[in-house]
Amino acid sequence: MLELLADANGIVLRRDAVACGVDDGALRRAVLQGRLVRVRQGAYVLRGVWESLDRLGRYRTLVAAVLRLYDDPASPVALSHTSASIEQGGPSWGLDLEAVHLTHLNATGDRTSAKLVHHRGVCRVKDITRSDGHWMTAPARTAMDTASISARDPGIAVLDYFQQRGLTTREELERVFSAMKWWPDTLGLLRVLQLSDGIAESVGETRTRLLCLDMGLPAPTPQFEIFHPSGRLAGRVDFAWPERRTMLEFDGRQKYLRLRRPSETIEQTVLREKAREDLLRELTGWLMIRLVWADLDVPEATARRIVRVFERAA
């Protein structure tokens, strides 16, 4: 019965179970027996489905369950903040994925319940959109809302993502900020917006740029293009300091997945990337720095390493 009640995401709502004659006692026994996982009040997921999901997949399943619970047309809500950002493809690094965020469109006041944060409903026409039959904040509003409740670096990474992917523009973000700058919880949001550039193609690139800023290093040129003597493009690096004859690439797994060609193995992608690096160093005579995630967690040591390369390249 429970499997029949589950939707495509493996979600079983208490209200549907009760309507079909499955009482709370039966639901509790199903949890104890390992057939169901209770993800929040009134919502369960088939255990086999839940255990097959990673952290992001579990969060999206929780979001789907909450949207089904709050589908009352008389009290409309819009998926917002971190939840809307994730649904719109935004990065999850550094974000709190414990609670779903809803903005009530005809209610006021903020409150928090089990795995759910309710926000006051101040949305203009351009601030909301429809997605899969539900209301959701539009990209510009989503990005600014998420940045307003996040730490600096994750917030900037979200703003970079939405701009770089063309989901919103700088002008739209500034328009949203002008309407929300007097709201609670927006202290420092202007600085976060100022620090975003919309050029970074990954969270790693955003964090690398911020590391250089925080450590007092010269600002690198992002997405620097290098050409053959004929004028043909040879390649592009994540960052470069032309005056210091130094290039920098951030190596993350997602980068290699993005560069991977059809039918190409990861190993072949890495070898091709190595050949590209050799060509760029040959054309420029510059030194190359490669950073990985672990380097970003030790900014002082990484900054010293970059400075040493500057000195060698001089």
Burial of 50 (0-12, 13-18, 19+ CB in 10 A): middle
Q: Are residues 43 and 79 in the same domain?
A: no
Q: Which domain holds residue 162?
A: 71-195
Q: Are residues 270 and 235 in the same domain?
A: yes
| Residue 65, domain member (yes or no) | no
| Residue 63, domain member (yes or no) | no
Segments in the chain below pLDDT 70: 107-112, 121, 184-185, 252-261, 264, 266
Q: Are residues 154 and 265 in the same domain?
A: no
Number of domains in the chain: 3
Q: Are residues 135 and 180 in the same domain?
A: yes
Quote the pTM value. Answer: 0.90
- Per-residue pLDDT, 241: 98
Q: Find where tokens 């009290």 sit.
A: 75
- Per-residue pLDDT, 138: 97
- Per-residue pLDDT, 1: 75
Q: Are residues 82 and 187 in the same domain?
A: yes
What does each C-alpha distance from 189 to 118, 137, 153, 156, 159 come to in angstroms? 20, 18, 12, 10, 11
| Residue 226, domain member (yes or no) | yes
- Per-residue pLDDT, 304: 98
| Residue 30, domain member (yes or no) | yes
| Residue 239, domain member (yes or no) | yes
What count of other Cβ atoms lies within 10 Å of the Cβ of residue 112?
11
- Per-residue pLDDT, 110: 62
C-alpha span between 133 and 201 (Å, rounded) = 30
Q: Are residues 119 and 234 in the same domain?
A: no
Q: Are residues 122 and 9 in the same domain?
A: no
- Per-residue pLDDT, 255: 59
